[in-house]
Amino acid sequence: METKVNTACETCSHFNKEGLKKLGIQTDNFDFVVALAGNPNTGKSTVFNALTGLRQHTGNWPGKTVMRAEGGFEYNTDKYKLVDLPGTYSLLSTSEDEATARDFILFGKPDVTIIVVDANRLERNLNLVLQILEITDKAVLCLNLMDEAKRNKVEIDVRTLSKDLGIPVVPASARFNQGIPELIQTVSEIASGQIVCKPHRIKNVPENIEKAVKTLTAEIEKEFPNIPNSRWIAFRLLEGDKEIIKALKSGEFV
Amino acid sequence: MNNYNPISALVIFFIIVGLLYVFFRPVKGWFWLLKKNFRSNEKVIIEDVLKQLYHFEYSENKVDMKTLVQVLDFNNGRIVEAIKKMTINDLIYFESDILKLTEKGRDYALRIVRVHRLWERYLADKTGFHKNEWHDRAESMEHKLSHDDAEELSAQLGNPKFDPHGDPIPTRTGKMAQVNGVELPRLAVGAVGRITHIEDEPDIIYKQILAENIHIGSLLKVIENNSTRIVFRSEGEEFKLAPIVAANLTVAVIEKEIVIEDNIARLSSLTEHETAKIIGISRESRGESRRRLLDLGFVKGSTVSIDLVNPLGQPNAYLIKGTSIALRNDQAAKILIKKD
Amino acid sequence: MKENNIENIIELSNELRWQIGDEFHDNLTEGIYADAADIVKDTVKTSDSEKRFRLDAKIDKIVTSKYFGFPIMFLILGTVLWLTIIGANYPSSLLATLFLDTIHPLLQSGAESINMPWWLAGFLIDGVYLAVAWVIAVMLPPMAIFFPMFTLLEDFGYLPRVAFNLDALFNKSGAHGKQALTMSMGFGCNAAGVVATRIIDSPRERLIAIITNNFSLCNGRWPTQILIATIFIGAVVPESMSSFASLLAVIGIAVLGMAFMFGVSWALSKTVLKGEVSTFNLELPPYRPPRFWKTIYTSLIDRTLIVLWRAIVFAAPAGAVIWLISNLHIGDETIAAWLINSMDGFGFLIGLNGVILLAYIVAIPANEIVIPTILMLTVMVTGIGGGAGAGVMFELDSINATGDILKAGGWTLLTAINLMLFSLLHNPCSTTIYTIYKETNSAKWTAVASIMPVILGFIVCFLVAQFWRLIF
């Protein structure tokens, strides 16, 4: 596999192999929280297992992980707690899985969010990616299943993708542990603030909605300056999301 | 112990089963009838009278005591009793023998209508009840929800404008969106329009429309219109309705000569080796199902083709955005496509 | 002040929402996908766009074809089930010999040598230990065989195709095609089947699958069915046919269970569950070669051991109860005898007897210990020889000897048939009930799932008994 080391982040310092310790289910005294999100059936659990050394069951069957699984790893003396969110196609609906994933990214304020996508089905997966990027600006895209993509003759211009999305993109084949060191390195650099992301914001929104969103966003920012996801909150308010209304009232965003 | 008679055991068993059936069978079981009778108290009668008067007023019909008693399913004496009380409480007044709503009465009526339509919206979006049950359930719910409950429900549903039949939901302040359109039989041959409302009363006609699989929000084009039948094309299929049935459909005429593409079809009509572009999802697909379809990539402009044909006829698997997704035929019928 | 501002924001959002209308969600999703398409256009190059790879398509064509689809499916699932039942026999008897014939006497003599009081030794060794040992011996081998095989099929990606093929059947009874899989999983263990319903993402269909999973004859019940069929059904036909007839009877019961599953699913979806949200979608993921050893390892850890642990936790107190009721006395009768006498009338009415009913009550924790309990209780109430003492469950190596005990207990062909029916149609074991509660988080649905099958069992057994007595 030659594609594997073409990491998008050019400033990446070299991966320090000695610095990695897989901690399994020990998640005490962590320094950073890392969320793991992605569509069903993208090998998200495989990435989780590769990072933590755990062996969570990973069925080839959409929607396996329903409950939140947690694990940990240590890299360069920093301890990371990894939270595996349920695999979902979107974060806009009302199902239990989606609410779990959505609330964790929004209220759990993870230090880094790893978004696992299937390189063969990038377009479908981007639906979720673009939504997550509205919520958090500390994210890395893990372009998983590169081995299959290669077999299917799917070529991805990782640098352009990274530029378009405004976040680092790491190609990987988690089944064969390829790309995982680069992923860990990138995660640590985002967590420590060495990489600052400028995530893509959804553009193709009809005019009348964009206008409403702008009005609402302005009001929200007046009330909560420095909030990174005022636009997402506006989206959710327009959907009538009760959780968001409750959180606004209790001031959870401050 | 061994000398009992199996026949008598069986007889007793079947008597018990029979009794249970008589008591608890759906709708007509004695238990339900008793329960219904029990709850038709004065409040319910008053609210139903107000609602009826409001509907008559909305459709610009006049109503006297006799008509009112006919449309309501209560004991006549109790209705008269209720009317008396309502006049005293300044909810209605008589203009000679015509019943009219006072301002206060209209407010009250609008609140009932609001709860009814909100509840139908709720049933449509958040539950799995079949649409021919919505009306009856909302009929009983409209007397139970308080003003505050209705507010919360409305917020939870995202303050919808219309109920699932296309009727406008009054806002808290009594504001209502406009329903555009005319009754289908008043459309000329060749006219193009969009179905904006399907009347759910009387029940018999509504069920007939449901059976025809006509969806709210569909574009249609009138092909034939005379006193015996109205024929129109919609979503690649042809429908024939009696004028009395068609009158329950409200259609907004589209003036601009927009192309009602003749090759708009339902995804269920796609055959193997054909590809198509998705035009949209019919309004008939609601709530969770609709969102799921959108999330899976069945959005405007996506290319779709059949990936696998099911050995039992359905569900077929469709290839959409690089993934194979199986949908049942009734779902596929609500996705509109244009074949390539 | 601040609160006021927030109220204003919410008020503003309501107003704006009303202005942009009901199409917001649609428009937003379309917008996101349009963005996605733009990005992909710049970054992804495919030689053969939108086509799935050819090997996948080829496999799919075969496994979902009109002519081969179903035979392949039955062949695969049948093989898995057959391997489980046959393959589990040997390790099961090995474990039984070890736990019951070797360790149990050792423990007993050990207790004697340290002068443990008889009641404590009986309670711990004959009650708790024996129940746990039994559950492990009967339950572990089939699960250790079934789950890895099933998981391999799952990881390969074949199971979604089964759901795809069968969905039309399940749709007719208001259920989801994926229920075919949770049902198959139920043949291994109902508790695992209930957990597996997580793959069904539509609330109504998931509840249906949970409530009806008990109609899949689980591993704990297969041995009972086979034993009783061999003793009683095999005996009424000519000897050359007997094993065939008893096999047919057991399969008949399993098929009857599926019929009940469809019927009850239909009834539930039309009545109590009709208000639950129902959606359908089924993704057919690409095939992926499973990683054999890893899969075996994880399926053992995740499924087998967890379920086994739960079963043990429930079986231990059951063993204690069984020992206690046979050794504590009310007046000059044991509690067990008293319970049996008081239930005998009702038991007779539905073609069973008090012993069977009591055995099913105390053996709620695990179906595996039903037969040993029945044998122990029968020996106790009839006072015939054999057995290992009050409260000590046992099983005999010889099928004929087992039959003799049961016949001495007053069993007829009717009792046997009704026991087989009741073994299919009774409350789920307590492990499953607990799992249902954990999965649904609802006492109501747990109660429905627990009580409904028993009532069905009573009705079916009652009707069979009356008609049997009328005819014969």
What is the value of ipTM here, to two decimals? 0.84
Q: Report how far apart, in Å, the C-alpha atoms of C207 and of each of C189, C198, C440 are.
A: 17, 10, 8
The packing angle between helices C354-362 and C370-382, to 10°, is 140
Residue A114 has pLDDT above 90, yes or no: yes
Judged against a pLDDT cut of 50, whether residue A11 lies above it is answered with no
pLDDT band, very low/low/confident/very high, at A204 (cuts 50, 70, 90): confident
Residue C35 near chain A (CB below 8 Å): yes
Mean pLDDT of A47-73: 64
Q: How many CB atoms lie within 10 A of CB C5?
A: 15
The per-residue pLDDT for A73 is: 82
pLDDT in tens, C204-229: 888 999 999 999 988 888 888 888 88
Report CA torsion sign: C167, C168, C169, C173: positive
Q: Which residue shows structure tokens 């702008």? A: A214
Q: What is the mean pLDDT of chain C?
A: 84
Instruction: Compute the distance between CA of residue C206 and CA of residue C182 in angstroms, rounded to an integer.
Output: 10
Q: Has residue B261 got a pLDDT over 70?
A: no
A250: pLDDT strictly greater than 90: no
pLDDT value for A85: 85
| pLDDT at position A2 over 80 | no
Q: What is the pLDDT of residues C259-292, one digit of tens each?
A: 999 999 998 888 888 877 778 888 888 888 777 8
Quote the crossing angle between the two packed helices C130-156 and C179-188, to the nearest 10°: 150
pLDDT value of position A212: 85
Dist CA B74 CA B48 (whole Å): 10
Classify residue C268 as exposed, middle or buried by CB count within 10 Å of its CB (0-12, 13-18, 19+).
buried
List, for residues C422-470, the tens digit of each pLDDT value: 999 988 888 889 889 988 888 999 999 999 999 999 999 999 998 998 8
**What is the overall mean pLDDT for chain A?**
79
Q: Is C43 on the interface with A (CB under 8 A)?
A: yes
Please report all neighbours of C, defined by 3+ CB atom pairs within 8 A. Answer: A, B
**CB-based contact B322 A120, cutoff 8 Å:** yes
- Say whether C29 and B294 touch across the interface (CB within 8 A): yes
pLDDT band (50, 70, 90) for residue B3: low
Distance of residue A92 Cα from the nearest chain B Cα, in angstroms = 8
Smallest Cβ–Cβ distance between A57 and the set C43, C287, C298 belongs to: C298
- Please report, for residues C152, C209, C435, the alpha-carbon distance to residue C194 in angstroms, rounded to integers and kept in the order given: 19, 8, 7
Query: Sorting pLDDT into bands at 50, 70 and 90, what band is C2?
Result: low
Contact A95 B157 (CB under 8 A): no
Chain-chain contact of B6 with C26 (C-beta, under 8 angstroms): no
Give the closest-approach CA distance of A15 to chain B in angstroms: 34
Kindly give, in sequence order, each residue whose CB lies less than 8 Å from that of residue A197, ignoring residues fewer than 6 positions away.
Answer: A137, A138, A139, A166, A167, A168, A190
* B315 vs C: CB within 8 A: yes
Residue A17's pLDDT is what? 67
Cβ-defined contact of B291 to A92 (cutoff 8 Å): yes
Nearest Cα of chain B lies from the Cα of C423 at a distance, in angstroms, of: 22
* Nearest-by-CA chain B residue for A41: B323
Chosen for mutation from A41, A127, A153 (greatest number of chain B CBs closer than 10 Å) is: A127
Q: Is the pLDDT of residue B66 over 70?
A: yes
- Interchain contact B300–A (C-beta under 8 A): no
Q: Which of A93, A121, A239 sits opposite B323 (nearest CB)?
A: A121
User: Which residues in C lie closer than 8 A to residue B307 (C-beta atoms)?
Assistant: 52, 57, 60, 284
| Alpha-carbon gap, residue B205 to B207, rounded angstroms | 5
Total residue length of chain C: 472
In the predicted model, what is the mean pLDDT of residues C190-214? 87
Residue C129 is predicted with a pLDDT of 87
Residue A173 to residues A46, C126, C192, C291: CA-CA distances in angstroms? 9, 54, 31, 14
Q: Which residues fall within 8 angstroms of residue A196, CB to CB, at 6 or more apart?
A: none
At C232, is the pLDDT very low, low, confident or very high (cuts 50, 70, 90)? confident
For residue C71, say if its preceding peptide bond is cis, omega within 30 degrees of 0.
no
| Interface touch B322/C275, C-beta < 8 Å | no
Interface of C with B in 377-436 (CB under 8 A): none
Task: With CB atoms and an 8 Å threshold, state whether C275 touches B159.
Answer: no
Asked if B155 lies within 8 A of A120 by C-beta distance, the reply is: no
Q: In C, which residues are within 8 Å of A61 by CB distance?
A: 154, 157, 159-160, 199, 285
pLDDT computed for residue B283 by the predictor: 78
Residue owning tokens 């000059």: C332
Chain A CB contacts of B296 below 8 Å: 89
**B291 vs A239: CB contact, 8 Å cut-off?**
no
Closest among B330, B309, A43, A173 to C285, alpha carbons compared? A43
Q: What pLDDT does residue A63 have?
A: 43
d(CA B296, CA C281): 9
- Residue A88: pLDDT band by 50, 70, 90 thresholds? confident
Distance CA A169, CA A187 (A): 11
Chain C environment of A248 (Cβ under 8 Å): 6, 9-10
pLDDT band at A4 (very low <50, low <70, confident <90, very high): very low
